[in-house]
């Protein structure tokens, strides 16, 4: 994963970064839904869902196939085009509303029974941007609904020299940043999960991810 510096050394915008990221390959992600989303949501009765940073659509499509009505947002039109095509192929297009948003600038409207942000890490993001987006995500949770935030806790253990600086907040730091009223919100899951994560050359390894699942009362 490169940072796609401009020739003049300027840092690319969020849109430029992710468009370059997705245009490097015809398919970037596996096409399978995120394991921790499935673990947390498989037994939840379906309703309306908002998938933030939906990428090539695997989570949104999985949710749609399990009865959810999904709004899925990403900054990359390239990623969204792939997601739309895959949803069409899988027969769930009518259950997903794909929307292009730079979440720091605009945000899908409405309230949702589930708001999910899976690995919403963006190298071009400015200080505090992710926290502001996640606060906005919490505002979009309907009463009785769930906010599910899954993020990397660290680089995989086979990364010796990280390719760029990125802050991996703890669940406590994410929770503090959300500044939620405890009278209105209940933390249901606060966990660090270590999973096997092979390197690009197939080298065995592990990676830790954080899960925060919070219910609006």
Give the pLDDT confidence score for residue 17 in this predicted structure.
80
Q: How confident is the model at residue 12 (pLDDT cuts 50, 70, 90)?
A: confident
Structure pTM?
Answer: 0.89
Tokens of 190: 């606060």
What is the tens place of the pLDDT at every residue in 116-160? Answer: 999 887 776 767 899 999 999 999 999 999 999 999 999 999 998
Residues 100-103: contacts with CB under 8 Å, at least 24 apart: 100/73, 100/74, 100/75, 100/76, 101/73, 101/74, 101/75, 102/14, 102/15, 102/75, 103/52, 103/53, 103/73, 103/75, 103/133, 103/136
**76 pLDDT more than 90:** yes
Q: How confident is the model at residue 1 (pLDDT cuts 50, 70, 90)?
A: very low
Give the whole-angstrom CA distance, residue 133 versus residue 151.
14
Give the pLDDT confidence score for residue 9 in this predicted structure.
57
- For the chain, how many residues are written? 217
Give the pLDDT confidence score for residue 165 in this predicted structure.
78
What is the tens place of the pLDDT at every residue in 85-120? Answer: 999 999 999 999 999 999 999 999 999 999 999 988
Write the DSSP string, 143-185.
EEEEEEEEEESS--TT-SS-SS------HHHHHHHHT--TTTE
Of the CA atoms within 13 Å of residue 4, those in its CB half-sphere come to: 17
Give the pLDDT confidence score for residue 166 in this predicted structure.
79
**4 pLDDT more than 70:** no
Determine what percent of the chain is predicted with pLDDT higher than 70: 92
Closest CA to 1 of 18, 21, 19: 21
Give the pLDDT confidence score for residue 29 in this predicted structure.
58
Domains defined along the chain, listed by start: 14-216 (3.40.50.150)
Crossing angle of the two packed helices 77-90 and 14-23, in degrees rounded to 10: 50
Spatial contact of 195 and 206, defined as CB atoms under 8 Å apart: yes
Q: What is the rounded average pLDDT of the residues 73-89?
A: 95
Q: How confident is the model at residue 28 (pLDDT cuts 50, 70, 90)?
A: low
Give the pLDDT confidence score for residue 30 in this predicted structure.
63
**21 pLDDT more than 80:** no
Give the whole-angstrom CA distance, residue 77 versus residue 57.
12
Spatial contact of 194 and 208, defined as CB atoms under 8 Å apart: yes
Q: Where are the alpha helices (DSSP H) in 76-170?
A: 77-90, 129-139
Spatial contact of 125 and 151, defined as CB atoms under 8 Å apart: no
> What is the average pLDDT value for the chain, to the nearest integer?
90
**174 pLDDT more than 70:** yes
């Amino acid at each position: 994963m490169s940072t796609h510096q401009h020739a003049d050394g300027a840092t690319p915008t969020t849109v430029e970064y992710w468009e370059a990221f997705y245009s490097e390959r015809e398919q970037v992600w596996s096409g399978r839904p995120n394991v921790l989303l499935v673990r947390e949501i498989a037994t939840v009765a379906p309703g309306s869902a908002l998938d933030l940073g939906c990428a090539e659509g695997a989570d949104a499509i999985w949710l749609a196939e399990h009865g959810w009505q999904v709004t899925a947002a990403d900054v990359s039109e390239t990623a969204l085009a792939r997601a739309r095509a895959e949803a069409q192929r899988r027969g769930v297009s009518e259950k997903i509303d794909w929307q292009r948003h730079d979440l720091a600038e605009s945000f899908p409207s409405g309230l949702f029974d589930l708001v999910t942000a899976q690995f919403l890490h963006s190298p071009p993001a400015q200080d505090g941007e992710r926290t502001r987006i996640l606060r906005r995500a919490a505002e979009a949770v309907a009463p009785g609904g769930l906010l599910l935030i899954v993020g990397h806790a660290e680089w995989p253990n086979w990364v010796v020299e990280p390719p760029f600086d990125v802050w991996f907040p703890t669940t406590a730091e994410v929770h503090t940043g959300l500044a939620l009223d405890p009278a209105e919100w209940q933390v249901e899951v606060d966990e660090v999960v270590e999973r096997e994560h092979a390197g690009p050359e197939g080298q065995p390894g592990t990676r830790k991810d954080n899960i925060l699942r919070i219910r609006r009362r």
